[in-house]
Structure formats: C-alpha cells, structure tokens
C-alpha cells in the first residue's frame, strides 16, 4: 500500500515537473519510426509507432501506400527518468493492415518540431501468406511463446567490444546488450561470458534504454564491463549467455478432436481473464574474435611493472625532518584508464640506510594508492631516492616513464639517553632493528634427572603428627606465658591476694630465722622473731595491719574454731611476750615446742582457711 | 629425657625420608634411561612402580607426564603434570609442559577470570600445601611472639605487627583451605567421554568432555562421577574417564 502511495506521488511529481522541464527537453528532440514486427501474415496486422521525444507530437498524415492500409489508433505518452535525467516521449500508434503479399516500405515522415524538420527512417516490412511465416509474432496474451527460436526476433543478446585488436593487458570495453521487443521479461540474470585468455571485470549495474534497430523498437538492457587480455594471439571472446524469464500467455485448454467432453471442462475464466505462465529462456550471443598483440620488448624500461594504458603517477613524502628511528610516510598514487590490477607499485626496498615496512596498497575508484613507512637507520640519510613508474601507452604504442624525487630528508641523530621510537632499536647499542617475529618451535620440556624431595604419597605437613604436636606445644607455651602475665597484672592491683599469697612464703622465712635463733639459744630474739612472723603471717593472710593481730582476731576469721590451734597460739603469744617484755626465762625445749606450734598453726591455716 | 625423645623422633623422620629416596632413586634413574631410549612404555611402568610403592615427588609425576605425552596419551599427561604442579608449584618446566599439553586439548573449556580471581588463583597456586602450612605456622609463631613481646616488653609497634600478621595469617589460611578444597576435588579427563544429564547410558548427552580437560568431581555414584567443568556446566561421566589429581 505504501509502495502504491509512493508511486502515485512520484507519478504526480513527474507530471507536474513535465512542463517546467520543457526547455531542457527541447534540446533532445528526436523522431523515430518503429514496428512491432517486420514480417506479417496476410490477414493480420502490425503496429507502427512514431515516437516523438522532447516535443509535442503534431498530427501525422501518411501518404497512401499501395498494398497497405494505415489507420491511426491514438497517442501514448511515456515519461522516464534515467540516471536522474527525465525525458518525455509521445508515441503515435498506427495499425498497418497488409492488403497483399510482398515487400513494402513505410516511407520516411518529416515533422516540423520547434522550428526544425525531423525525419524518421523508412521501415521495410514483408507480407507473407497466412501460415507461411517463419517467426510467429509473440505478444503478451498471445500464444505460441514456448519455442525459443520463435522468440529470436523478440528477445536476443548481442555481444560487442570497443576494439578488435588490443595489446596484452590493455583494457577493452565490452557490452552485452539484451534486446527485448514487446515481451514481459523478468528475473534477468547477469550474463556469463566465455573468456579464455582474458580477465573479465565484474559487470556494472545494467543500463536501460530504448533503441530502434531495423525499424523495430527494443527495450535494451546494457551490461558493461572491461576485459583484459592475459595472453597474446588470436583469441575468441564469447559467446555471452544470459538467462531470463519471459511471461507468456498459456494455450487455452481445448478438447481433443472427437472429444465431446463436458461443458464444465472449459474454464470460462481462462478465456475471459487470460492465463499466463513464466518460461525460462537461455539466450546466447555470437562470439567475437580479438587479436591480442604482445607488448614490445624494445624500449621496455626496467621499472615497467605491467601497466598498460595511460596513467598519472604522484608521490609525496612526509615529514621531511625526522630523528633516527622516526617513521617517514611515503604515499604514491597511480590513476588512469589502464589495468590497475596489473600495476605493481614501486615500493621502497630494505637497504643499509633504510628500514622499510610492508606497504599498504589499496585500489578503488580507478586509482591505486600505496602507503609505506620508511625509517632512516642513521643520520647519514640525506634523501629518499628517485622513484620511477613506467607504463605502456597503447594509443602511442610505446613506453613512458614518470620519475618522482629525490625527496630531501633531514635526519638528526638521537640525543644521548634518548630511546628510538621504533621497537627493537636501542639508542645505546646503535641502530639495531628487529626483523620479523622469530618463529619458535613448540614441544614439551625434557624430563628431570633429579628425583627431588620424596615423600609418602598424600602425606602433607598438615597430616604429620610432629607438625600438629609442634603447633599444640607452641600454643600451650603462649597460653602459659599469657596467663602468667595476666596473673602478674592482677597481683599489682589486688593487694589482698598478693598479701595472702605472700604470707606462707614470708612465714617460712621468719620461722627459719627463728630456728636459727633457737640454735644459738637466743631466747629474746627467738621470741621476737616468732611473734613477728606470726603477726606478719596473719596480717597478710587476713589483709589487716600486723600490729592489730590478736588471737581474738584470728578466731574471728575461722569458720570453725579449732580450740587447740587457738590455745597453742595463745600459749606462744603469752609466753613469748613474757620473754620479750618481762625478761622471763624460757627453756630450749619450750622454744622448740613454740616453734613447732607456730609451724603447725601456719600449716593448719594454709590448709583450712582461704 | 625430653631432648632425647625429640632427637629420636626427628632422627626417625629423617631415616624414613632417606630410606624413601634410597629405594626410589635407582628406579627413577632406570625409568629416565628408558625414556631417553624412547621406551616410553617401560619408563611409564617404572615411574608408576615408584608411585605404587607409596612414594611420590614432583619430578616423578613430571617425567611420567612427559612419557604419557610422548605416547599421545594427553589426558594422563595433563593429569600427571597437574600432580607435579601440586608438589612443584613454581617449577618452570612443569608450568611450560602443562600449558603446552593443555593447548593440545580439543575444546579446552576455561572460565574467564576477573582481575581479583586471577590474583587469588595466582596466590594459591604459587605455593604447595606444605609451604602454605609452614608459612601459616610461622605466622602463628610470629603472632604469638609479637603478642608476648607487647605484653612483657611493652613493644610499641607490637599491636600493629600483630594486625599485619593476623591479616597475612587469614589470607594464607583461607588460601590453604581453598587450595585443599580445590585439590581434593580436582580431576582430569584421562579419556574423552560424554557428559550426561543423568548417571545412565540412556540419558541425554549434555556436552563432550575431551581428554585432558580439567574439572571438579562433585560426587560419585556407582560407576558414574558428577563433574563440573570450569565454566560451571555439570554432567555425569563414566567414573573411569576422570582421575583425581
């Protein structure tokens, strides 16, 4: 639907643009006479069309022709746009009815258009008896379209070349034209061409136009390309083959003679609507002989690389001032009408002064370009040398050489410590360039000679007892030290605990001292030491000042009073007090007994009182 | 008494290791000679004999891998290279041969790793299990020593040192755990097999496990093993077609 709207819109635009473009069209005025067939049976008719292009068609009056009757049918207008150029033509159609057999000629008609006279070519026609025609006219809706030979006047292929003689590699324009006369043709294939000894370029999009040939107007599809001879000698080009589908009317179904059949066998709509079918035809042109001349050896320059035709050669170099190791870009361009594929670009080669990279060569739009990076290896390079490009000019029949350069180049050395930009070039070791990446072989490394550390299979350190025991021992040691630290820390703050823990140790020392005085029979000091030791012990034990220690205080800290212990203590304290303050006498046995009691009392309290 | 016990224990361990080298070394040399002569079957038998006797070393696995590679048994070659890597994680020969063998594996599936994963994998593959265990022990001792030094000697930088050691300890500890888990399940296809959706012959084939492909064995059931490819795809294969590293 959208397509229909667009087409309608285009048609409207073309129609409305028609009158505006009249002055332009007036420059391309032409008049042509054409028939749909040049052979017609007596009793049939043919169609004559006078086509006026670029101007309005005036009325035409044909002279009377003996044996032919010409009747005017009416006009038809056609507007076409080809390659953006619009043209309008008017066809004045006539029907020509032969009245007798023989050769006839429709005479030239002269028409005054835009102040000038334009004439048609005469058209010769042949009228034959009914049933003797060699080529049956075929037209859409007609019959008998199945035989290709019957179509040869309606659709055929013509192969042509611009020249029949050419040099090796010289481009030869080729045209393959498909002529179509009053046939509905679709799915036209690109032609194939037998090209032994030639190289064929791909065909361009075909051009469409109208062409009158032999008095008959044809729709022409023109396939154009170029051909390059690849060997010398007398060669044959073609034939060209081209496939297409033609749409023809199928024969209406008829009963066989003697077959009565049913009235329902006839399809009424076949007659009324017509039935069409598509037929594939393979068309073939005649071949063409082409003489291919070899390129002359005489005067062939050393720089000739296969270019045949006319060429322009341009070259540029940039930058012209570089440091050692910096890239210089060389650009070349070859353009012309010759065979560019056969042209080898004159790229720079590696030398002791120049490092060159592979050139990048591209070909498009009728020109071939080269871009190549060239790197001066040292500062002795002063210029890029002359580059020559040679080609063979076929029109002149001789070789030509175009020279470019030399191109001056200023190369400065690298500063001390400066690295060259090019990979592989070391400033310190001079201009060294890396070649292509080295291809290294690949395989497994050789076996090991030493067995290395051997262990039980699957035996890891984690499963070995020694490792685990070591971890546990370390942990315990750390834990011990840590706890010890914590305990020490507590003693510094908890004085009650510190004194309590200190009490037995201090008492032990005191009792030892008292025992020493006992040995010396020093009763006074013995009693002093014994009483002080007991007071210190109980003072530390109960976290009270030692001078406040009495038997009553001690008894108050005992949950279950042990009378014997308290009585022993009381005796020790009282008798020692008498010795200390009243200078009473005391026997050695008594002192030993007091020492023993003091020891037992301390042991008792250590065991039973926390 | 305690010292005597420790010395005796260490002595026994040394004698055990020395004994292992003593009995393995001649067989190893014999296997190497067979390899040099191109008698790869013989070399394989000798290397396998050492392993069967209950001892192993990275060099044995490496040489065995080479022997299998020469016999075009790619799966077993990769398997033994991987086992060698377990004991010689930084050995350049083992790394080169493993890489080369893996390059020969048809359609070797590998999971693309991001930068962190590459870093982590590089970390845990840089050390052997024993090395990581020893490093962990050293960190433990250092941590304890730094702690005690902080307490008793009032070392000012002690807490910072403890933090640093603790971080390293956890990195290596987690690494060791990951490494053990990886090595415990890691396997290599010793022959090509079809991985199916279910552990039976009639189940649909999910993918083909090529010889030499590394994978993880998730579980075993009857004659089947459930494997996970590096890209996460799982399938049941014939248990005999994969061998644990």
A contacts of B32 (beta carbons < 8 Å): 447, 449
The predicted structure's pLDDT at residue A508 = 93
| Lowest pLDDT segment from A142-146, A457-461, B229-233 | A142-146
Greater pLDDT, B97 or A273: B97
- Domain termination site, one of B75, B103, B131: B103
B contacts of A484 (beta carbons < 8 Å): none
CB contact under 8 A, B97 and A445: yes
CB contact under 8 A, A455 and B17: yes
β-pair partners for B225: B220, B237
Closest Cβ opposite residue B35 in set A447, A460, A467: A447
B80 interface with A at CB cutoff 8 Å = no
The predicted structure's pLDDT at residue A429 = 42
One domain for residues B128 and B141? yes
Q: Give the H/E segment covering residue B81.
A: helix B74-87
Cα of A473 to nearest chain B Cα, Å: 11
One domain for residues B95 and B41? yes
The predicted structure's pLDDT at residue A267 = 47
> pLDDT band at residue A512, thresholds of 50, 70 and 90?
very high
Closest Cβ opposite residue B25 in set A451, A457, A461: A451
A contacts of B51 (beta carbons < 8 Å): 457
Decide if pLDDT at A175 tops 70.
Answer: yes
- To the question of domain A309-412 being in CATH 2.60.40, the answer is yes
Contact of A231 with A222, CB cutoff 8 Å: no
Cα of A424 to nearest chain B Cα, Å: 26
β-pair partners for A362: A369
B172 interface with A at CB cutoff 8 Å = no
The first and second tokens of residue A22, run together, are 């009249």
One domain for residues B91 and B178? no
Q: Could you give the residue ranges of the DSSP H alpha helices within A157-275?
A: 268-273
Closest CA in chain A for residue B23: A454
The answer to whether residue B198 is domain-embedded is yes
The answer to whether residue B46 is domain-embedded is yes
CB contact under 8 A, B97 and A460: no
Cα of B205 to nearest chain A Cα, Å: 34
Does ipTM top 0.95?
A: no
Cα four-point dihedral sign B56, B60, B62, B67: negative
The answer to whether residue B85 is domain-embedded is yes
The predicted structure's pLDDT at residue A528 = 92
Cα four-point dihedral sign A542, A545, A546, A547: negative
CB contact under 8 A, B144 and A454: no
Beta carbons within 10 angstroms of residue B32's beta carbon: 21
B contacts of A455 (beta carbons < 8 Å): 17, 20, 55-57
The first and second tokens of residue B234, run together, are 């799982």
CB contact under 8 A, B32 and A454: no
| Lowest pLDDT segment from A348-357, A541-550, B103-112, B134-143 | B103-112
Cα of A472 to nearest chain B Cα, Å: 11
The predicted structure's pLDDT at residue B8 = 57
List Cβ neighbours of A205 (8 Å cut-off, separation of 6 or more). none
A482-488: average pLDDT:
93
Closest Cβ opposite residue A466 in set B9, B20, B97: B9
DSSP conformation class of A65 = B
Cα of A497 to nearest chain B Cα, Å: 22
> pLDDT band at residue A53, thresholds of 50, 70 and 90?
confident
Alpha-carbon distance of B30 to B42, in angstroms, equals: 9
One domain for residues B68 and B142? no
The answer to whether residue B216 is domain-embedded is yes
The predicted structure's pLDDT at residue A201 = 83
The predicted structure's pLDDT at residue A531 = 92
Task: Report strand pairing: A321-323 vs A410-412.
Answer: parallel
Decide if pLDDT at A348 tops 50.
Answer: yes
The answer to whether residue B109 is domain-embedded is no
Closest Cβ opposite residue A447 in set B21, B32, B58: B32
> pLDDT band at residue A124, thresholds of 50, 70 and 90?
confident
Cα of B100 to nearest chain A Cα, Å: 7
Strand runs labelled E in A288-327:
288-293, 304-308, 311-318, 321-323
Contact of B57 with B74, CB cutoff 8 Å: no
Closest Cβ opposite residue A471 in set B21, B129, B140: B140
- Domain termination site, one of B137, B162, B184: B184
For every residue of B180-240, DSSP letters joined together read: HHHHHHEEEESS-EEEESSSSTTSPEEEEE-TT-EEEEEEEETTEEEEE-TTS-EEEEEGG
B73-97: average pLDDT:
94
Alpha-carbon distance of B208 to B218, in angstroms, equals: 18
> pLDDT band at residue A599, thresholds of 50, 70 and 90?
very high
CB contact under 8 A, B96 and A445: yes
Decide if pLDDT at B79 tops 90.
Answer: yes
What φ, ψ does residue A419 adopt, rounded to 5°?
-90, 140
Decide if pLDDT at A256 tops 50.
Answer: no
The predicted structure's pLDDT at residue A358 = 84
B67-73: average pLDDT:
93
The first and second tokens of residue A520, run together, are 């010396």
Q: pLDDT for B134-174, tens place per residue?
A: 999 999 999 999 999 999 999 989 999 999 999 999 999 99
The predicted structure's pLDDT at residue B164 = 95
The predicted structure's pLDDT at residue B106 = 73
The predicted structure's pLDDT at residue B11 = 53
> pLDDT band at residue A558, thresholds of 50, 70 and 90?
confident
The first and second tokens of residue A12, run together, are 């409207």
CB contact under 8 A, A454 and B148: no
> Any idea where the domains of chain A sit in the sequence?
15-128, 149-254+268-292, 309-412, 495-608
My answer on whether omega of the bond before A203 falls inside 30° of 0, hence cis, is no
Cα of A498 to nearest chain B Cα, Å: 20
The predicted structure's pLDDT at residue A144 = 39
The predicted structure's pLDDT at residue A83 = 60
Alpha-carbon distance of A412 to A424, in angstroms, equals: 19
- Domain termination site, one of B184, B203, B227: B184
The answer to whether residue B108 is domain-embedded is no
The predicted structure's pLDDT at residue A81 = 66
Beta carbons within 10 angstroms of residue A485's beta carbon: 15
What CATH number is attached to the domain comprising B240?
A: 2.30.30.40
B contacts of A452 (beta carbons < 8 Å): 57-59, 87-88
A contacts of B58 (beta carbons < 8 Å): 452-453
Alpha-carbon distance of B190 to B237, in angstroms, equals: 12
Domain tally for chain B? 3
Cα of A465 to nearest chain B Cα, Å: 10
Greater pLDDT, A503 or A194: A503
CB contact under 8 A, A482 and B151: yes
Greater pLDDT, B1 or A202: A202
> pLDDT band at residue A447, thresholds of 50, 70 and 90?
very high
Name the nearest CA neighbour of B36 among A447, A441, A450: A447
The predicted structure's pLDDT at residue B241 = 93
DSSP conformation class of A450 = S
CB contact under 8 A, A447 and B141: no
Tell me the three state secondary structure of residue A209. strand
One domain for residues B174 and B195? no
The predicted structure's pLDDT at residue A423 = 46
A15-128 matches A149-254+268-292 in fold: yes
What CATH number is attached to the domain comprising B45?
A: 1.25.40.10
Mean pLDDT over each residue of chain B, to the nearest integer: 88
Q: pLDDT for B230-244, tens place per residue?
A: 889 999 999 999 999
Query: What is the share, in percent, of chain B residues with pLDDT greater than 90?
Result: 70
Q: CATH class for domain A149-254+268-292?
A: mainly beta
B contacts of A478 (beta carbons < 8 Å): 144, 147-148
Contact of A30 with A53, CB cutoff 8 Å: yes
CB contact under 8 A, B69 and A444: yes
What φ, ψ does residue A237 adopt, rounded to 5°?
-105, 130
Alpha-carbon distance of A406 to A384, in angstroms, equals: 6
Question: 3-state secondary structure string, A225-249?
Answer: EEEEECCCEEEEECCEEEEEEEEEE
Mean pLDDT over each residue of chain A, to the nearest integer: 80
CB contact under 8 A, A461 and B20: no
Cα of B20 to nearest chain A Cα, Å: 7
Domain span at residue B135?
Answer: 115-184
Task: Report strand pairing: A68-82 vs A85-98.
Answer: antiparallel
Greater pLDDT, A449 or A436: A449
A258-270: average pLDDT:
44
Greater pLDDT, A314 or A153: A314
CB contact under 8 A, A454 and B56: yes
The answer to whether residue B158 is domain-embedded is yes
Alpha-carbon distance of A202 to A499, in angstroms, equals: 115
Q: What CATH fold (topology level) applies to the domain A495-608?
A: 1.20.120
Name the nearest CA neighbour of A110 among A46, A62, A48: A62
Q: What CATH fold (topology level) applies to the domain A15-128?
A: Immunoglobulin-like (2.60.40)
The predicted structure's pLDDT at residue A17 = 41
Burial of A257 (0-12, 13-18, 19+ CB in 10 A): exposed
| Residue whose structure tokens are 């049913």 | A262
Decide if pLDDT at A377 tops 60.
Answer: yes
List Cβ neighbours of B226 (8 Å cut-off, separation of 6 or more). B199, B217, B218, B219, B220, B234, B235, B236
The predicted structure's pLDDT at residue B98 = 92
Query: Residues of A at the B interface (Cβ-Cβ below 8 Å)?
Result: 442-458, 460-462, 466-467, 470-471, 474-475, 478, 481-482, 485
């Amino acid at each position: 639907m959208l397509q229909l709207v667009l087409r309608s819109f285009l048609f409207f635009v073309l129609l409305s643009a028609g009158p505006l473009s009249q002055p332009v069209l007036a420059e391309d005025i032409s008049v042509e006479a054409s028939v749909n067939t040049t052979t017609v049976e007596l009793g049939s008719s043919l169609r004559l069309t006078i086509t006026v292009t670029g101007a309005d068609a005036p009325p035409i009056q044909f002279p009377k022709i003996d044996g032919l009757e010409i009747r005017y049918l009416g006009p038809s207008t056609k507007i076409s746009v080809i390659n953006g150029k619009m043209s309008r033509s008017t066809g004045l159609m006539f029907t020509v009815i032969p009245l007798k057999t023989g050769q006839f000629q429709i005479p030239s008609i002269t028409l005054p258009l835009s102040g000038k006279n334009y004439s048609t070519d005469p058209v010769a026609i042949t009228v034959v008896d009914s049933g003797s025609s060699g080529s049956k006219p075929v037209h859409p809706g007609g019959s008998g379209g199945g035989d290709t030979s019957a179509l040869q006047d309606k659709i055929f292929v013509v192969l042509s070349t611009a020249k029949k003689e050419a040099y090796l590699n010289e481009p030869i324009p080729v045209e393959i034209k498909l002529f179509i006369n009053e046939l509905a043709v679709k799915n036209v294939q690109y032609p194939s061409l037998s090209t032994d000894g030639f190289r064929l370029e791909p065909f361009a999009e075909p051009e469409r136009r109208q062409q009158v040939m032999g008095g008959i107007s044809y729709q022409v599809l023109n396939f154009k390309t170029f051909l390059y001879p690849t060997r010398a000698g007398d060669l044959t080009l073609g034939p060209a083959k081209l496939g297409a589908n033609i749409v023809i009317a199928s024969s209406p179904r008829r009963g066989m003679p003697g077959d009565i059949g049913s009235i329902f066998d006839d399809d009424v709509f076949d007659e009324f609507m017509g039935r069409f079918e598509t037929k594939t035809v393979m068309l073939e042109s005649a071949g063409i002989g082409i003489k291919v001349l070899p390129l002359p050896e005489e005067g062939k320059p050393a720089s000739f690389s296969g270019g045949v035709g006319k060429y322009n050669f341009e070259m540029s170099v940039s930058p012209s001032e570089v440091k050692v190791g910096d890239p210089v870009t060389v650009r070349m361009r070859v353009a012309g009408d010759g065979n560019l594929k056969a042209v080898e670009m004159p790229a720079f080669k590696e030398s002791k002064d120049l490092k060159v990279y592979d050139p990048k060569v591209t070909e498009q739009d009728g020109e071939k370009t080269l871009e190549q990076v060239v790197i001066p290896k040292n500062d002795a390079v002063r210029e890029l040398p002359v580059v020559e490009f040679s080609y063979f000019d076929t029109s002149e029949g001789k070789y030509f050489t175009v020279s470019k350069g030399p191109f001056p180049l200023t190369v400065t050395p690298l500063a001390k410590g400066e690295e060259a930009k090019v990979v592989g070039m070391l400033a310190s070791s001079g201009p060294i360039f890396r070649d292509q990446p080295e291809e290294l072989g690949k395989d497994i490394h050789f076996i090991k000679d030493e067995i290395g550390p051997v262990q039980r299979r699957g035996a890891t350190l984690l499963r070995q007892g020694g490792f685990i025991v070591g971890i546990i021992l370390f942990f315990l040691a750390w834990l011990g030290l840590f706890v010890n630290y914590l305990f020490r820390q507590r003693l510094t703050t908890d004085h009650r605990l510190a004194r309590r823990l200190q009490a037995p140790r201090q008492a032990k020392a005191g009792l030892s001292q008292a025992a020493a005085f006992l040995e010396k029979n020093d009763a006074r000091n013995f009693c002093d030491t014994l009483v002080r030791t007991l007071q210190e012990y109980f003072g530390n034990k109960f976290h009270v000042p030692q001078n406040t220690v009495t038997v009553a205080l001690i008894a108050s800290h005992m949950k279950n009073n042990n009378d014997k212990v308290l009585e022993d203590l009381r005796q020790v304290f009282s008798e020692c007090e008498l010795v200390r303050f009243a200078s009473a006498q005391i026997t050695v046995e008594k002192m030993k007994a007091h020492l023993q009691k003091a020891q037992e009392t301390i042991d008792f309290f250590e065991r039973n009182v926390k | 008494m305690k010292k005597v016990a420790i010395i005796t224990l260490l002595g026994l361990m040394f004698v055990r290791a020395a004994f292992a080298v003593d009995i393995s070394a001649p067989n190893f040399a014999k296997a190497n000679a067979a390899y040099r002569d191109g008698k790869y079957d013989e070399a394989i038998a000798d290397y396998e004999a050492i392993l069967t006797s209950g001892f192993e070393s990275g060099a044995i696995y490496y040489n065995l891998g080479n022997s299998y590679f020469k016999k075009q048994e790619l799966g077993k070659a990769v398997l033994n290279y991987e086992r060698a890597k377990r004991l010689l994680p930084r050995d350049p020969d083992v790394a080169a041969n493993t890489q080369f063998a893996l390059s020969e594996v048809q359609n070797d599936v590998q999971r693309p790793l991001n930068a962190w994963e590459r870093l982590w994998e590089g970390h845990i593959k840089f050390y052997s299990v024993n090395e990581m265990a020893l490093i962990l022990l050293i960190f433990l001792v250092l941590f304890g020593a730094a702690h005690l030094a902080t307490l008793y000697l009032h070392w000012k930088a002690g807490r910072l040192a403890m933090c640093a050691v603790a971080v390293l300890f956890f990195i290596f500890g987690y690494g060791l755990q990951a490494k053990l888990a990886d090595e415990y399940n890691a396997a290599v296809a010793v022959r090509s097999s079809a991985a199916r959706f279910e552990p039976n012959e009639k189940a649909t084939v999910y993918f083909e496990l090529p010889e030499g492909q590394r994978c993880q064995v998730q579980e075993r059931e009857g004659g089947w093993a459930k494997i996970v490819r590096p890209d996460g795809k799982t399938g049941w294969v014939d248990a005999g077609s994969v061998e644990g590293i």
